[in-house]
Amino acid sequence: MGAPRTHEVARGTLPAMSTSQPTLAVLVDELTRALGKSSVLARPEELIAYEYDATIERARPDIVVFPASTDDVATVLRLARKHGVPVVPRGSGTGLAGGAVPVQGGVLCVLTRMNRILEIDVRNRTATIEPGVINLQLQEAVATHGLTYAPDPSSQRVCTIGGNVATNAGGPHTLVHGSTVNHVLGMRVVLPDGRATFLGSRVPDAPGLDLRGLFVGSEGTLGIATEIVVRLVPRAEAVRTLLAIFASIEDASNAVTRVIASGVIPVALEMLDREIIRAVQHSRDVGYPEDAGAVLLVEVEGLRETVEQQSAQVIEALRAAGALDLRIASEAAERERLWEGRKSAIGAIGALAPNFYLLDGVVPRTRLPEVMRGVEELSARYGFRCGNVFHAGDGNLHPNVMFDSMEPGATERVLALGAEILRLCIEAGGAITGEHGVGLEKRSYMEWMFGADDLEAMSRIRLAFDEAGLFNPCKVLPSGHGCASAHSAELTHHLATPGVYV
């Protein structure tokens, strides 16, 4: 503590809340007594690592805590509330919307030490876990029982299930299985005032208002999930993975519609364009063709006989859509290699440019060809290279705009390009986020999609959970809807520093 606190945001004016140093010192003392010394950080050199998530936005917390139980979380929230200090939940910090960035300082509540798998109920096909369990860790644990947890964000080696619940995470395999909300039965939640409750149930279709559904995807604005009951599904008997090679991203986009129209919904239908293929191949050879305009990674799963038949249908559709070549993975190692390329694609972009800005929008998949053309034209107009890797089957695009933040004005131009791309998505009948959420980054764009009455209704729901307006402030809803203006103080603007912005 003691260093001047900076609230660094990439754009817009956010009210920065200033908690007095004596108040913070008392709070640190109380938190340390309640949680133990090793669970509370407050020195600037310790806090600096918690300034950001995987976006472009940054703001330093005043205190970081690592609770180990629901009771600890409740204590943190009660103490912070007593002193009028904001609290922001955080999992692994892989979020791509700035949701875990503490724009008004305060306490950052990091859930990664609550990482126990409490129960795997094989017969009822459920698992009960703490929020800090890593997605892949859960997948591996249930795989030994012949089961799987379907949502598999590409960040699954790092991201937490708590973060997945808060963002309603999707992933390559949510095309057929649905996003996180379809796989969460219930959860223990500590409300912003420190009371604990259980939303949902251990069995499907709980009576009453679906507060579970409301909480999933609320981006850490309604409370902190401390125990989560998830649904598991049996692992498929057979899987067929194939790579379809196309001359252009437009041809590959058209193929997406053709495949779905063939009557088969693959479990995954992912697209990588030329820039990304080259970036991946540059970092490791996974067998992607570097001269292709785009590739589609397609996976079909189910009973052995069904998979045979569905693969044949998919192959026919891909050929009819102009696939130049098809590579079918005949064994597990080959399949893993193809997926390794997809899952490491975002990291591989780091080798192409000093910085990149990863966007997330969604459009009806039939509009993909024209929207991808639009993305290409806009990027060229702004003078940036752009690589695309995305969940094409869901129409969920992820343009990665490459730039150098040291170049004067580049960050502002990248943000302006991002805004234009999201506008394009809305005009095509889509939305400003497909899976990463709104967070801090896109909250001002909410007005493009919702009228004042809609935003007011959302704001009232939020107030019902957080009367004091101190819980993860300035997220999701635009200014005036959930950013306690009473706390307005001066804001230190500081645009992006060097680094890779994902």
Q: How far is the CB of 75 from ligand FAD (least distance, A)?
A: 16
Q: Show the 3-state SS of 3-62.
A: CCCCCCCCCCCCCCCCCCHHHHHHHHHHHHHHHCHHHEECCHHHHHHHCECCCCCECCCC
Among 131, 341, 361, 374, binds ligand FAD (CB under 6 A): 131
- Nearer to ligand FAD among residue 248 and residue 472 (C-beta): 472
Token representation of residue 7: 């609230």
Q: What residues form DSSP beta bridges with 387?
A: 400
Q: How far is the CB of 166 from ligand FAD (least distance, A)?
A: 3
DSSP one-letter code for 132: T
Q: Show the 3-state SS of 390-424.
A: EEHHHCEECEEEEECCCCCCHHHHHHHHHHHHHHH
Among 63, 150, 224, 375, binds ligand FAD (CB under 6 A): 224
Residue type, 279: A
- Nearer to ligand FAD among residue 170 and residue 369 (C-beta): 170
User: Of the ranges 32-40, 425-433, 434-442, 451-459, which one interacts with ligand FAD (CB under 6 A)?
Assistant: 434-442
Based on the shown chain and the rule CB under 6 A, indicate whether residue 199 belongs to the binding site for ligand FAD: no
Based on the shown chain and the rule CB under 6 A, indicate whether residue 268 belongs to the binding site for ligand FAD: no
Q: How far is the CB of 406 from ligand FAD (least distance, A)?
A: 22
- Nearer to ligand FAD among residue 95 and residue 473 (C-beta): 95
Q: How far apart are CA 466 and CA 223, in angstroms?
A: 8
# chain residues binding ligand FAD, by CB under 6 A: 38
- Nearer to ligand FAD among residue 19 and residue 155 (C-beta): 155
Q: Are 411 and 422 in contact (CB under 8 A)?
A: no
* Residue 338 neighbours by CB under 8 Å, 6+ apart: 241, 243, 286, 287, 297, 327, 329
User: Of the ranges 15-23, 26-34, 149-157, 373-381, which one interacts with ligand FAD (CB under 6 A)?
Assistant: 149-157
User: What count of residues does the chain have?
Assistant: 502
Among 270, 394, 435, 466, binds ligand FAD (CB under 6 A): 435
Among 10, 16, 42, 96, binds ligand FAD (CB under 6 A): 96
Based on the shown chain and the rule CB under 6 A, indicate whether residue 70 belongs to the binding site for ligand FAD: no
Q: Tell the residue number behind the tokens 């709070």, with chain if given.
A: 27
One-character DSSP codes across 54-116: SSS-B---SEEE---SHHHHHHHHHHHHHTT--EEEESSS--SSSTT--TT-SEEEE-TT---
In whole angstroms, what separates CA 335 from the centre of its chain?
25
Based on the shown chain and the rule CB under 6 A, indicate whether residue 160 belongs to the binding site for ligand FAD: yes
Based on the shown chain and the rule CB under 6 A, indicate whether residue 91 belongs to the binding site for ligand FAD: yes
Token representation of residue 259: 């495949």
Q: How far is the CB of 325 from ligand FAD (least distance, A)?
A: 26
Q: Are 179 and 434 in contact (CB under 8 A)?
A: no
User: Of the ranges 85-93, 119-127, 229-237, 424-432, which one interacts with ligand FAD (CB under 6 A)?
Assistant: 85-93
Q: How far is the CB of 419 from ligand FAD (least distance, A)?
A: 20
Based on the shown chain and the rule CB under 6 A, indicate whether residue 89 belongs to the binding site for ligand FAD: yes
Among 15, 67, 86, 95, binds ligand FAD (CB under 6 A): 95
Among 76, 181, 298, 346, binds ligand FAD (CB under 6 A): 346
State the angle between helix axes of 304-320 and 249-261 in degrees (0 to 180), rounded to the nearest 10: 140
Q: What residues form DSSP beta bridges with 231?
A: 126
Q: How far is the CB of 215 from ligand FAD (least distance, A)?
A: 8
Among 10, 24, 41, 166, binds ligand FAD (CB under 6 A): 166
Q: How far is the CB of 433 from ligand FAD (least distance, A)?
A: 9
The C-alpha R_g of the chain, in whole angstroms, comes to: 23
- Nearer to ligand FAD among residue 105 and residue 170 (C-beta): 170
Q: How far apart are CA 58 and CA 101, in angstroms?
A: 6
One-character DSSP codes across 229-271: EEE-EEPPSEEEEEEEEESSHHHHHHHHHHHHHTT---SEEEE
Among 15, 102, 105, 162, binds ligand FAD (CB under 6 A): 162
Q: How far apart are CA 426 and CA 433, in angstroms?
A: 10
Based on the shown chain and the rule CB under 6 A, indicate whether residue 348 belongs to the binding site for ligand FAD: no
Q: How far apart are CA 12 and CA 282, in angstroms?
A: 37
Among 177, 188, 367, 436, binds ligand FAD (CB under 6 A): 436
Q: Are 287 and 337 in contact (CB under 8 A)?
A: yes
- Nearer to ligand FAD among residue 19 and residue 94 (C-beta): 94
- Catalog residues that contact ligand FAD under the rule CB under 6 A: 53-54, 88-96, 99-100, 111, 131, 153-155, 159-160, 162-164, 166-167, 169-171, 219-220, 224-225, 346, 435-436, 439, 472, 502
